[in-house]
Amino acid sequence: MVDELYLANAALELASGVVALLVSYTAFRYNRLLRSEILSFLSFGFMLLGVGLLAEGSLHSLISFNIGQILEDRAVVYVASVIYLILQLIAYSTFTIGYYRGSFGRVREEGVLPALVFIIFVHTARNPLLLGTYVNATVQLIVVLLLAFIVFQGLLVHGGSTGRSALVLGGFLLILIAHALVLVSSLVISPPLYLGGALVQFAGFLSLLAYILRSGRVGATSTNT
């Protein structure tokens, strides 16, 4: 029997993956016109999130219907989940670095992301069964802290602003709330709460896509005039 909540979450992951890739493509396209460093970071980060979400959504769809008896191959599910967690960590670290560089200047980040990836692999290699508890909660906590920095920095830069600035700030705030819900759901084992986090994240991605589209149109108009 198909788990409706699980299937709904898979559908949301696939939809969010498509929107994330649209954000990445749009940011890349407008970056070629506007030459904005933050758009470069957004493009790269959302490319990682989009690929990860599409892969995760596809995997969860297979699990929902137990196609190819994938539930019996726990190693594949485990490795795929760890890879997705790492992609999230790298993506949100990229956003954080982008905002930090935009506000405080250049920062030496060359060794930061490899170090984070190494830490995750070391912990997961010790006990694969920790994936559903310790590792997932740890990664989500790190992501929440990174997003909190991004939102705080956005408040400093865009505080009191409306229009396009409100879209980007609201988008990251929604994503922060989404990952906070996912963190809580992993601690209390609540599938409905996890689904709620996926829905809020989808809304956050849409908000950021709207921000980039509006920014690009305004920038193109300014360039042509």
Q: What single-letter DSSP state applies at residue 106?
A: -
> The whole model's pTM is what?
0.79
- The pLDDT assigned to 159 comes to 59
- The pLDDT assigned to 221 comes to 45
- The pLDDT assigned to 15 comes to 96
- The phi and psi torsions of 195 (rounded to 5 degrees) equal -65, -40
Distances (CA, A) of 113 to 33, 73, 94, 156: 28, 30, 9, 26
Rg (alpha carbons) of the chain, rounded to whole number: 18
Residue 172: partners with Cβ closer than 8 Å, 6 or more residues away:
95, 147, 150, 151, 154, 204, 208
- The pLDDT assigned to 3 comes to 67
- Kindly give the confidence (pLDDT) of every residue in the chain, 225 residues in length, as a single tens digit, with 9 standing for 90 and above: 456 777 888 899 999 999 999 999 998 888 777 677 778 888 999 999 999 999 999 888 887 776 656 655 666 777 778 888 888 988 998 888 887 776 555 545 444 444 554 554 455 444 444 445 567 788 888 899 989 988 888 777 665 555 566 778 889 999 999 999 998 988 888 888 989 999 999 999 999 999 888 876 555 444 443
Taking the domains of the chain in order of start, what are their residue ranges?
Answer: 4-224
Distances (CA, A) of 116 to 73, 81, 88, 207: 27, 16, 11, 28
Buried b / exposed e over 79-89, threshold 16 CB at 10 Å, is ebbbebbbbbb
- The pLDDT assigned to 45 comes to 93
Distances (CA, A) of 40 to 105, 125, 149, 209: 16, 33, 19, 14
Residue 161: partners with Cβ closer than 8 Å, 6 or more residues away:
169
